[in-house]
């Protein structure tokens, strides 16, 4: 997500990173997506399945922090912020849909080169369907495995919540690609969802090489990503890597009408550390583990991409910009050029905000072997911001 128009990240990195490295290993995963549907999730804290191969403990429900009622001017804050403060310390929630064998087990998880982790909400069925057929397709590319998980909470309440849970359960049964926690899938719970994912990863896929963490409405050129990551000479996922659209020199928005409102009661400091816009960023398995470890001692901030930056900063690390990541959208500076010309998208890594129909078409167009792009249709670095 892009939310600050003025300050923009420093851009480094190469624009075109398409050199494939020689095929070193061909990895095969057996049963990559054994699915588990957790039944009868109740209020109590008992393990519900005979087998202990899945994280199915239902956590005792987390209690409100009653001291929050004493926070200065609490009652002047919007309800969702008050709610956030009361439950800010809650980090454990039961899973409704799990995939403990997604990466072939913790030991074999090193065989997954790129794990696509896509934030989705139950209702976004059309987005998930198109991603499964396009950039998020599970496949072997250039000799390495790409795998996919959607991460979701629950939406709505009553019958509608049950219907939407049923939908995810159906999709999970068919595609083995949904992780769902029993949390409300709201904007201010995105950080929580992200951290629940990292905890899941630590348990089930700790040795995954790289991850793409992004929204379900982005266009990601995952073939280019694999080739870019393979071209890194000294990093096989075991070293720090966190790249995307870097946002820096910004701080909390104090206007209560903003979607991104963060009052002093949530964060006093006027600055955020550098972070990558949450529409999509690439990170190594090592960095995912560092962030998870640091998160245990960094209190939650409701804006997930900023929070990742805070955890990085705590570890003395930072994000790096890549010019091919356009979480603010791709700016094609002419009224006579088609802004959806596939030639503009062939070389990028990620562009934010695509409708499913545009995404489906674009993926097919950039993969068309007959696609001809003249030099003037290759985006030049100065044309992209
Ligand atoms: C089941 O798994 C949990 C979480 O990993 C662990 O704490 C617990 O000891 C396990 N129980 C059994 C019976 O293996
Ligand atoms: C709130 O503040 C009052 C007055 O200082 C104090 O007596 C009370 O214990 C506090 N409540 C909590 C839950 O901290
Ligand atoms: C409860 O809220 C108070 C006031 O914001 C805070 O100082 C304290 O650290 C919180 N406790 C926990 C367990 O998060
Ligand atoms: C986050 O999810 C929890 C669990 O469903 C819910 O109690 C809480 O109200 C949600 N918080 C926000 C800020 O939406
Ligand atoms: C994170 O913590 C775990 C458990 O303490 C440790 O095994 C792991 O090496 C840590 N990860 C990193 C990248 O330091």
Q: What digits encode the pLDDT tens for the residues 49-71?
A: 334 444 555 667 889 999 999 99
- Confidence tier at 158 by pLDDT (50, 70, 90): very high
**Which ligand is the nearest neighbour of the Cα of 51?**
1
Percent of the chain whose pLDDT exceeds 70 = 79
pLDDT tens, 293-332? 999 999 999 999 999 999 999 999 999 988 777 766 666 6
Give the residue, by CA position, lying nearest to ligand 5 atom 14: 290
Q: What is the pLDDT of residues 215-243, one digit of tens each?
A: 999 999 999 999 999 999 899 999 999 99
d(CA 331, CA 313): 30
Q: What is the pLDDT of the chain when averaged over all its residues?
A: 83
293 lines ligand 5 (CB under 6 A): yes
Q: Give the residue extent of every domain in the chain.
A: 95-321, 328-384
pLDDT of residue 27: 29
CB 72 near ligand 2, within 6 Å: no
Per-residue DSSP letter, 261: B
Confidence tier at 334 by pLDDT (50, 70, 90): low
- Indicate the DSSP class of residue 253: B
Taking the domain 95-321, which CATH number applies? Answer: 3.90.550
Q: Closest Cα to atom 3, ligand 2: which residue?
A: 70
* Per-residue CA distances from 87 to 37, 156, 314 (Å): 27, 19, 23
| CA distances from residue 12 to 55, 180, 221, 245 in whole angstroms, order as listed | 40, 36, 19, 10
Q: Say yes or no: CB of residue 67 within 6 Å of ligand 2.
A: yes
Ligand 4 atom closest to the Cα of residue 154 is 5
Percent of the chain topping pLDDT 90:
69
Most confident range, picked from 327-341, 349-363, 364-378: 349-363
pLDDT at 346: 80
Give me the mean pLDDT over the 34-45 stretch: 42
Sign of CA dihedral 310, 213, 244, 185: negative
Q: Measured in angstroms, how far is the CA atom of residue 51 from the centroid of ligand 1? A: 10
pLDDT, residue 4, reads: 35
Pull the structure tokens for residue 138.
């599970």
Ligand 5 contact via 286 beta carbon (within 6 Å): yes
Mean pLDDT of 146-152: 98
- Best substitution site from 78, 80, 87 to test ligand 4's pocket, by max atoms within 8 Å of Cβ? 87
């Amino acid at each position: 997500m892009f939310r600050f128009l003025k300050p923009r990240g420093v851009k480094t990195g190469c624009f075109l990173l398409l050199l494939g490295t020689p095929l070193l290993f061909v990895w095969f995963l057996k049963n990559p997506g054994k699915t588990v549907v957790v039944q009868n999730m109740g209020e109590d804290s008992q393990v519900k399945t005979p087998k202990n191969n899945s994280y199915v403990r239902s956590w005792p429900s987390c209690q409100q922090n009653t001291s929050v009622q004493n926070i200065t001017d609490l009652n002047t804050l919007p309800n969702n912020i008050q709610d956030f403060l009361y439950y800010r310390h809650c980090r454990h929630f039961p899973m409704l849909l799990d995939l403990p064998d997604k990466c072939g087990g913790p030991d074999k998880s090193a065989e997954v080169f790129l794990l696509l982790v896509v934030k989705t909400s139950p209702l976004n069925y059309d987005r998930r369907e198109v991603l499964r057929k396009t950039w998020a397709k599970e496949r072997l590319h250039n000799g390495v495995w790409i795998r996919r998980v959607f991460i979701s909470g629950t939406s709505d309440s009553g019958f509608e919540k049950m219907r939407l849970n049923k939908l995810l359960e159906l999709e999970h049964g068919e595609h083995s690609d949904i992780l769902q926690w029993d949390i409300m899938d709201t904007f201010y719970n995105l950080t929580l969802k992200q951290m629940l994912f990292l905890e899941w990863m630590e348990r089930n896929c700790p040795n995954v090489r790289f991850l793409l963490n992004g929204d379900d409405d982005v266009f990601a050129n995952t073939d280019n990503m694999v080739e870019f990551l393979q071209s890194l000479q000294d990093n096989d996922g075991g070293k720090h890597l966190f790249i995307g659209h870097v946002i820096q020199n910004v701080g909390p928005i104090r206007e209560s009408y903003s979607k991104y409102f963060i009052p002093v009661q949530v964060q006093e400091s006027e600055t955020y550390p550098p972070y990558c816009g949450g529409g999509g960023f690439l990170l190594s398995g090592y960095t995912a583990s560092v962030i998870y470890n640091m998160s245990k001692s960094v209190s939650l901030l409701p804006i997930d991409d900023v929070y990742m930056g805070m955890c990085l900063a705590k570890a003395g690390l930072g994000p790096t910009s890549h010019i091919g990541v356009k979480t603010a959208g791709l700016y094609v500076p002419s009224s006579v050029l088609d802004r959806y010309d596939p030639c503009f998208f062939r070389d990028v890594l990620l562009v934010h905000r695509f409708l499913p129909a545009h995404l489906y078409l674009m993926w097919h167009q950039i993969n068309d072997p007959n696609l001809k792009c003249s030099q003037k249709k290759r985006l030049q670095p100065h044309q992209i911001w």
